[in-house]
Amino acid sequence: MTDSPVPPRNVVFISKATPGDDEFTLWLAPRLEAAGYTVYADIIRLDPGVRWRQELTTTLQSRAIKMLLCGRDASLARNGVQEEIGIAEDLVKELKDPKFIIPLRIEPYKKVFGIGELQYVDFSKSWAAGLNELLDALERQGVPRDPSSIRISPNWEQYRRRNSIQIKNEPEPLTSNWLRVVEVPDTIRYVSPKGAIDHGQFAKACEKFEYHAHVHERGFFTFASVEDVNEKLSHVGTFELVSETDTLSFVKEGIPDRKILPREASNWVQTIFREAWEAWATKMGLLRFEYSKSCAFHITKDQTAIGQRVNWGTQGEKRSSMLRNIAKKHVWSFGITATPVFWPYYHFRLKSRVLFSEVNGKESGPVLKEASAQHRLRRSVCKGWRNKQWHGRQRAFLELLVGESPYINLAVGSEAVIKLDAIPIFFTSPVTTDLPDEIDDAAEEADDSTLTGPVTEEDESE
């Protein structure tokens, strides 16, 4: 008698709650399979009972190479999900893989013992961007896949027939929340003052420098020319060029001769990128609001009226979205936080924000100062917004500011710019899940149902 062959440990196991995570799982699982991964989720097991539970446990214990954990408070509270977390924690030790559990943040959730410190993949604002980030993570961590032999399980289709959710064997365009950086200045300069200087005044001047700078030792790094520096900082002193370095090399390698490490160089350049974005947004007349970990810029009455629809989209996909309106007896205003990121390529990652103000007659009054009040309104008002509505507002926000221009130009010198695509990056999934995310444009906010949801006292994490 011969021993049965040991099945390979190559399964990406999705831990989820039924039925709360079914829609998300039906969207995610076939896309992972289309990328060449072997995927398991209990949604494809149609027969209830002990055998089903035994198979689920055996698959996790013996075949799973990663566990994707659907992150929502309601899901994490389920007994079955907690049991799977317990098994997965044992596998972390057995496989010596501290990244065996990958939380997927579908909604903001409270920390759970054992996984509270794990880095999550964020799907809360954009499933498309979350998928892109997840595929990058699986690739970096060496999860086995076979793109030469794609097989999408027929069980997804069986479940579709049972629940009227259709999987189509056709490509689906997806919108990310990334703006690609298409041009950066060729060189970054280190500029130093000639002779003695008031360093206190120098530091303050650098903070307000129109073209942005990072102070280092006696001078500063900037993309601006020496002529720009001497023109804008003439009240401080006279400056001279000390060195020029290729921008991409500076970010990647630093300057070893000056003991500037790559991480330091990258952080300094990211700071200049971020400040350039903030200066551009301020110039556009947007309202700056400080959140707990970052700032965002919001639409004001100077850009659109309350309830006004803003057109967006290329020819053939013209649509419109609201960026300011009244809900729950408050005015909400859409905004964006933009974070520069240099991996896997230079881009700005956008995070959608919604800010609430008091109503003053027919216009917005003071911004609500209490964070708890902002959180409660955000959780209730925005709860019903679908992914396409978030994407639509993001596109409308950008196109309202740039008009017909295909680019956003962030000035870092009189002749130096950081140029961004004004339209987020698109990518294509090989399959389409016909989920109830399709909305008729004219009916996007035809009634209050798209602006309401369960009222909760829980804080929304930043």
Say how far apart CA 57 and CA 84 lie, in whole Å: 8
Residue 9's Cβ-side half-sphere holds a number of Cα atoms within 13 Å equal to 13
Residue 77, helix vs strand vs coil: coil
Report which of 47, 114, 109 is spatially closest to residue 87, judged by C-alpha positions: 114
Residue 303, helix vs strand vs coil: coil
Query: Higher confidence at residue 165 or residue 52?
Result: 52
pTM score: 0.66
Per-residue pLDDT at 91 exceeds 60? yes
Which tokens sit at 169? 């064997």
Report which of 332, 351, 325 is spatially closest to residue 444, judged by C-alpha positions: 325
The average confidence (pLDDT) of the chain is 85
CATH architecture classification, 11-169: 3-Layer(aba) Sandwich (3.40)
Running DSSP on this structure, what letter comes out for residue 68? E
Q: What does the pLDDT read at residue 296?
A: 96
Domain boundaries, given as residue ranges, for the chain: 11-169, 188-273, 279-428+439-451
Q: What does the pLDDT read at residue 288?
A: 97
Query: Higher confidence at residue 13 or residue 404?
Result: 13
> What is the mean predicted confidence (pLDDT) over 289-316?
90
Say how far apart CA 405 and CA 417 lie, in whole Å: 15
Q: What does the pLDDT read at residue 13?
A: 95
Per residue in 362-410, pLDDT (tens digit) is 899 999 999 899 999 998 898 878 777 888 999 999 999 998 899 999 9
Query: In whole angstroms, how far apart are CA 385 and each of 116, 391, 444?
Result: 27, 10, 9
Q: What does the pLDDT read at residue 308?
A: 95
Residues 6+ apart with CB under 8 A from 14: 25, 28, 29, 39, 40, 41, 67, 68, 70
Q: Which of 36-40, 284-288, 431-435 has the lowest mean pLDDT?
A: 431-435
Interhelix angle 154-163/22-34, nearest 10 degrees = 150
8 A C-beta contact, residue 7 and residue 33 = no
Residues 6+ apart with CB under 8 A from 317: none
Residues 6+ apart with CB under 8 A from 153: 29, 30, 33, 39, 44
Per-residue pLDDT at 452 exceeds 60? no
Sign (positive or negative) of CA dihedral 419, 421, 424, 430 = negative
* DSSP annotation string for 186-237: SEEEEEEESS---HHHHHHHHHT-TT--EEETTEEEESS-HHHHHHHTTTT-
Per residue in 311-337, pLDDT (tens digit) is 998 655 678 999 999 999 999 999 999
